[in-house]
């Protein structure tokens, strides 16, 4: 009986709620780099392992009508490179298609 009463449930206010920011989150970094002239390059670093970067790249290339490659970095793993400033679009794509929280995506650059 007593378990059905809300007030009698033991609740530890100091327990970890699980969704605080202190735990290390793997941010996805979206960066931009300037090339010569008006040209820019967008890099997407830290994509989750469970996704196949090749397929993501293919979808991105088709959606944004740009070229791109996958660069294999020793420390950072696979990094997607896209031509042009695709930062906002990449973020929209990641949050809508892959269900990645927007707070886990960081956009860098100007």
Partner 1 sequence: MKKKKKKPKAVSFNESGDLDESTPKEESADPAVDELTDMFANLKKKKKKPAATSEESSPAPEGAEDENVEDFDFSAKKKKKKKPAVDVSEFEQQLEEAGVVETGEDDDTFTKEGEEGAEDGEEEEASWLNSDREYTYEELLHRFFKILRTNNPELAGERGQRYKIPPPSVMREGNKKTIFANLKDISDRMHRPYEHVMQFLFAELGTSGSVDGNARLVIKGRFQQKQLENVLRRYIMEYVTCKTCKSISTHLSKENRLYFLVCESCGSRRSVSGIKTGFQAHIGKRKRLPG
Q: Which residues bind partner 1 (CB under 8 A)?
A: 29, 31-36, 41, 43, 45, 71, 73, 76, 79, 81, 108-110
Shortest distance, position 45 Cβ to partner 1, whole Å: 5
Cβ 81 to partner 1, closest distance in Å? 6
Could you tell me where the beta strands, DSSP code E, fall in the chain?
28-34, 40-45, 68-73, 77-83, 105-107
Q: Are 76 and 70 within 8 A, CB to CB?
A: no
Are 29 and 46 in contact by the 8 Å Cβ rule? The answer is yes
Instruction: For partner 1, give the closer residue by CB, 10 or 36.
Output: 36
What minimum distance in Å lies between the beta carbon of 20 and partner 1? Answer: 12
When the beta carbons of 7 and 60 are compared against partner 1, the nearer one is 60
The arrangement of strands across the sheet holding 105-107 comes to: 68-73, 77-83, 40-45, 28-34, 105-107
Nearer to partner 1, 8 or 35 (CB): 35
């Amino acid at each position: 009986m007593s378990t059905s009463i809300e007030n009698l449930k033991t609740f530890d206010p100091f327990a970890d709620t699980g969704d605080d920011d202190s735990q290390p989150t793997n941010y996805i970094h979206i960066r931009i780099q300037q090339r010569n002239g008006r040209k820019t390059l967008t890099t997407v670093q830290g994509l989750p392992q469970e996704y196949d970067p090749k397929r993501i790249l293919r979808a991105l290339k088709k959606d944004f009508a740009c070229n791109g490659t996958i660069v294999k970095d020793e420390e950072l793993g696979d990094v997607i490179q896209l031509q042009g400033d695709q930062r906002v679009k990449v973020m929209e794509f990641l949050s809508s298609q892959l269900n990645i929280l927007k707070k886990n995506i960081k956009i860098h650059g100007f």
